[in-house]
Amino acid sequence: MSKKTSLVLEKFSTLFIYVWSYDFILKGIYFLEKNMKKIFFPFFILLIVVIFVLGIFFVNKKASRELFDAELLLTKLYVPQKSEIQLTGVYMYEDEGFSLPLLVTSGRSYDKMDFHRIFLKDSSHLQVMRGNDVENDVFQDNNYYYLLDSDSIEYPRIDTIWIGLKKEDLPNLQLIGNIGIQDRYATIGYSSWYLVVPPYKFEVDAKSFEFYPQKFWDYKNEDEHARNEYLKTEGQNYCQNGKIQYVNCIWSDRNWIYRWTYGEDKNYHLVRTKRASDFKILKSSELLGVITKDHKISLKFVGMKKPENKQTVIDSSESFIGMYQDENFVYFEIPNYWAWTFPVDTQTLKYEEKEIQLPGDEYPTDYSLLHDKNYYYQLVYHNDNGYYELKRIKKSSFALWDSLRSLFD
């Protein structure tokens, strides 16, 4: 903001405060009452009331939106890049088609395979390729791979119609993992110098290519420690590249690393990033759980330790996170990330649950706030990186003044 603009704003602020002062309003009303015709005086009073009501509505609406933007728990998704293009594979059942959209970096070369509708009177001869949960299994027979047989794909198998890919199109297929946050959206595999995401095949550098298979939990394994280690990553591979942690890393070559992610556009993306000198697959002990970029917060990892004289802020049995406080600190627990602590003004600390009516939504959206007299606190989950970021937002004392100032910024 320029010095001239700041001076104008300062003078405008002084004038604004005086205009809205009690003394000025009384003098103005008395003057108008004495000098204006009586017929105009009621209209003037009505105008003041309307302006005042609209001002309150404007301030409250902006303040409500600002509060929603400061909600405690937030998820940040991958931002689609302009250089990406959307591929859409389609398979048909009768007259209805089902699409499998996938966004990839522009300029990537790929081949597209055909889906085939296979009529099977008896599916007992099919062989399971991978999986301990039948809903996540993929199958094969002598001629076809049935890689779409999953609850995450709408109607992949109807009665005795199966959707298959010819084995001759996928020689020596090895399964790497799945694309999907909760359910399987697509299967990832490797077949003779091609990365496979049905119905697409992407050529790779065969000399330096290395893939990182997703891990699947054996539910027969009752080892609690091994189970906890698995839950830290849920079988996905985390990697470091250019000092940044990423999740869902699936393969690399001498020039690039490749991973999948979910974007703000509600599509899955196959992302290619230039390989840095520090690239490596991370061990569970190397993973970042919670970070902060605010060096004044003093965030500390405390493991399973809880304060002795704790006061519950958020009950972990009723929420995704558990939160406690003692005389000077807040302690919070996140599943698979253990407990962390940071200092707050515990005398004014407050947890609130609110709702807001967002444009276009039929029902209000619920959200929560954690704040003290100085700050709102946020835990932002970075879906692309697989960690939480603790942030704080400075409270604004003059919402209306902030609105006016934003017009000049």
Is the model's pLDDT at 41 over the cut of 70?
A: no
What is the arithmetic mean of pLDDT over 228-257? Answer: 89
pLDDT digits (tens, 9 = 90+) for 350-379: 988 888 887 878 888 888 889 999 999 999
Is the model's pLDDT at 125 over the cut of 70?
A: yes
Q: What is the model's pLDDT at position 121?
A: 73
Per cent of the chain over pLDDT 90 is: 21
Is the model's pLDDT at 296 over the cut of 50?
A: yes
Domain boundaries, the chain: 3-65, 84-285, 288-406
Considering the entire predicted model, what is its pTM? 0.74
3-state secondary structure the chain: CCHHHHHHHHHHHHHHHHHCCHHHHHHHHHHHHHHCCCCCHHHHHHHHHHHHHHHHHHHHHHHHHHHHHCCCEEEECECCCCCEEEEEEEEEECCEEEEEEEEEECCCCEEECCCEEEECCCCCCCEEEECCCHHHCEEECCCEEECCCCCCCCCCCECCEEEEEEHHHCCCCEEEEEECCCCCCEEEEECCCEEEECCEEEECCCCCCEECCCCCCCCCCCCHHHHHHHHHHCCCCCEEECCEEECCEEEECCCEEEEEEEECCCCEEEEEEECCCCCEECCHHHCCCEECCCCCCCCEEEECCCCCCCEEEECCCCCCCEEEECCCEEEEEECCCEEEEEECCCCCCEEEEEEECCCCCCCCEEEEEEECCCEEEEEEEECCCCEEEEEEEECCCCHHHHHHHHCCC
Q: Give me the chain's average pLDDT, please.
A: 77
Q: What is the model's pLDDT at position 56?
A: 46
Among 27-31, 115-119, 208-212, top mean pLDDT goes to 208-212
pLDDT digits (tens, 9 = 90+) for 299-330: 998 887 766 777 788 776 666 788 888 888 88
Instruction: Pick the range with the lowest mean pLDDT from 4-8, 149-153, 292-296.
Output: 149-153
Is the model's pLDDT at 188 over the cut of 80?
A: yes
